[in-house]
Homo-oligomer: A and B are copies of this chain.
Amino acid sequence: MTSHAGRLLLSLLTVLFASQEVRGDEGMWTFDNLPLGILKTRYNFAPDQAWLDHVRMASVRVPHGSASFVSKDGLLLTNHHVAHGAIQQVSGEKNDYLKNGFVAASRADEIKIPGYTAQYLVSTENITGLVEKAVMAAPSGTRKDLLRAETIARLVAEENKKSGLHCESVALYQGGEEWIYRYKLLNDVRLVMAPEFGVAAFGGDWDNFTYPRHDLDMTLFRVYENGKPFHPPHHLTWAEKGASFGDLIFMVGHPGNTNRLDTLAQMKFALEEVVPFRLRNQGRMKKAYRRHASQGPAQAMEVSQQLMSAENFFKVFEREWAGLKDTEAMGRVAEAEQELRARVAENSELKAYAGDSWNKIEEALQLRRTFIKELFTVNTRGSVLFELALHLVRLPEELAKSPHERLGEYRDEKTLQATRTRLEKEQARRPEEEVREFTIGLEEALEELGAKHPFVEALLEGKSPADAAKDVVARTRMHEASFRKELLEKGTKAIQESKDPFILLARTLDPMNRTLRKAQEGVRAVISEHAARIAKARFAVYGKSKFPDATFTLRLSFGTVSTCRAMGTLLQPFTTFGGLFDRADAWGPEAENKSWALPQRWRERRHRLDPSTPFNFLSTHDSIGGNSGSPIVNRKGELVGLVFDGNIDSIPGRYYYDERVNRSISVDARGILEALEKVYDASHLVTELRRD
């Protein structure tokens, strides 16, 4: 951070204020900077502070997603796919709650999820000024990036102590602003109700990102404190009536990560390097798993999940790539950047501070371009045994350093312990599986880097990928936990002298991989500094007319229950239970790896359900991964839905919001109640939700 920054902050008000267009219902807005003008003008809606506090404090963050309090006794509503790991964690062979679903008949039957936490945002504070002040006060010669990080860490630690809350720093606008967010942390979360995976993810990976959709993607937890149900200060009541087509509704949750404020050069890099690599990578996976599956039904079964997952990732990257190639949408991105650059160039102060930042980022990316393939490829190539060997090689060396000098994965004590446990106890995969996965990884290295690359030469030793993988797996002892434990105990010398083929490969890989990571860190530091400069220049020119990129912190999106043009028609704004059975009937229970097979309970209780009950709905909200589980509320702040996905055209939402086609998909609150009552006989839960 240069000394320009201080002057820049002061000059904010003196620079011409203008605003760049927000498209349609675009935006994942922070609560300190809500689009109140748009809401008032477009929808004649002016929420008061009580409304804002209510929806904010009823919204909850859980691992990998969002949630909301939905009863005064601490019922917490989130998605099944967000709760997936937690449900799996408390399942066993005899009680497979993922497959069979779960309903606690009473509170006594609710199942605690060890280690699972939930938190809601109590308050926030902008510490940008404090951080700048500390950094500017430092004597010249100080490493300002380190000082900056230390200052933030100190402020967070102070806040933790002072508030008694769980505090975190948040960098908004690529570092243009620094905040402290204070959360109430809750550690006792119990499973109350989860539907069967077959109806929560009806349509399986095929239907991921699709609409029309028919998923009961919900789970109910209950939060406890001191062994008793937690009474949240705010919880959402269930709307008497659901939302209708065209109604203004709100999503309050934690979008994970977007790249909308990236420079055009960064998007171009994604277009030309990152996404194509991922497509090639998933394409190879698809090919390899198809090849394996073609050997017979048993082999097809073995890799059915991997194949489906590769198909799904391929689909996502394909759409992301198409989005980056969309000349109209990317043209708008380019135009906005050109305009900002022109405005910055007009002002001598801004020009000196950030005028060259776009070029600096582009130069850093040119550098990254020279090693990006290796960065993606010079690693343990899908082999678990290779990965364990690399840990064995690195662990002693890393532990000898002070934590902040170590590679990231060896800093935190908890992670270190997990790695030690893996080394000492992890059961190896079947050798055929290990060989299969390693072969795919070797094929990729060969194709991406070429036979002459030293890493590839070391891996293959002139053999074919399949032969090399077979050979190494046959000769290694890394699959023996006792062998690894012994090496670990004997320490550096024994490891260095080991002739185990995976240890030898790890010793070749280690320095190469470190060099690449170092180069990548250098590039990142440049991008980070200049992205923050651009962000501040943007404030100076436009003010805070834009929302920051998603950071897995609380945001509000607005929008309406909507339709969308697709396949020559308009997509229906809602789906119903009738539509769920339509698809199940149309495909039958066996098609496409049982993707559209309904659980038995649903087949048996089909006649109990009102087929016209709204089940899922489409809306114009701007959302992205992390938003999963966010509540959807109406103008009264009442619950009308639970978001769980975006449509296929929402995938380029990482880079831009296209109001014509970007849509979110939610479970309708009415569908949840109907299912709880008619399919799960959970009228006690319905009573609790309705009463509250």
Taking the complex as formed, is A582 at the interface, i.e. its CB lies under 8 A from any CB of chain B?
yes
Min Cβ gap A326→B in Å is: 14
Binds B, one of A99-107, A208-216, A253-261: A208-216
Taking the complex as formed, is A9 at the interface, i.e. its CB lies under 8 A from any CB of chain B?
no
Closest to A209 in B: B568
8 Å CB contacts to B: which residues of A581-621? 581-583, 585-588, 591-592, 596, 611-612, 614
8 Å CB contacts to B: which residues of A571-586? 572-576, 578-579, 581-583, 585-586
Q: Do B586 and A210 have beta carbons less than 8 Å apart?
A: no
Q: Do B582 and A586 have beta carbons less than 8 Å apart?
A: no
Q: Do A575 and B582 have beta carbons less than 8 Å apart?
A: yes
Min Cβ gap A396→B in Å is: 47
Q: Do A566 and B568 have beta carbons less than 8 Å apart?
A: no
Residues of B within 8 A of A211 (CB): 567
Taking the complex as formed, is A560 at the interface, i.e. its CB lies under 8 A from any CB of chain B?
no
Min Cβ gap A674→B in Å is: 13
Q: Mark A324-344, 1 if CB is under 8 A from B, else 0.
A: 000000000000000000000
Closest to A246 in B: B591
Min Cβ gap A495→B in Å is: 47
8 Å CB contacts to B: which residues of A167-205? 203
Min Cβ gap A279→B in Å is: 15
- Docked Cα-Cα span, A85 to B206, in Å, equals 42
Main secondary structure of the interface of A (DSSP, over half): mixed
Q: Do A569 and B210 have beta carbons less than 8 Å apart?
A: yes
Report the copy number of this chain in the oligomer. 2
Min Cβ gap A202→B in Å is: 12
Q: Do A581 and B611 have beta carbons less than 8 Å apart?
A: yes
- Docked Cα-Cα span, A203 to B570, in Å, equals 9
Taking the complex as formed, is A51 at the interface, i.e. its CB lies under 8 A from any CB of chain B?
no
Min Cβ gap A526→B in Å is: 36
Min Cβ gap A645→B in Å is: 11
Q: Do B568 and A208 have beta carbons less than 8 Å apart?
A: yes
Given contacts A573-B586, A575-B586, A579-B578, contact A568 B648 (CB under 8 A): yes
Taking the complex as formed, is A245 at the interface, i.e. its CB lies under 8 A from any CB of chain B?
yes
Residues of B within 8 A of A587 (CB): 245, 572-573
Min Cβ gap A668→B in Å is: 11
Taking the complex as formed, is A647 at the interface, i.e. its CB lies under 8 A from any CB of chain B?
yes
Taking the complex as formed, is A207 at the interface, i.e. its CB lies under 8 A from any CB of chain B?
yes
Interface centre among A567, A570, A611, A614 (most CB of B within 10 A): A567
Taking the complex as formed, is A315 at the interface, i.e. its CB lies under 8 A from any CB of chain B?
yes
Which of B319, B576, B592 is in CB contact (< 8 Å) with A568? B319
- Docked Cα-Cα span, A315 to B566, in Å, equals 11
Given contacts A567-B210, A569-B203, contact A611 B582 (CB under 8 A): yes
- Docked Cα-Cα span, A591 to B648, in Å, equals 25
The 9 closest A-B pairs by CB, nearest first: A579-B582, A568-B648, A572-B586, A578-B582, A210-B569, A585-B612, A574-B586, A206-B569, A578-B578
30 CB-based A-B contacts, threshold 8 Å? A203-B569, A206-B569, A207-B569, A208-B568, A209-B568, A210-B567, A210-B569, A211-B567, A245-B587, A245-B588, A245-B591, A566-B567, A567-B567, A567-B648, A572-B582, A572-B583, A572-B587, A575-B582, A576-B581, A576-B585, A576-B586, A578-B578, A578-B579, A578-B581, A578-B611, A579-B579, A579-B582, A579-B583, A579-B586, A581-B612
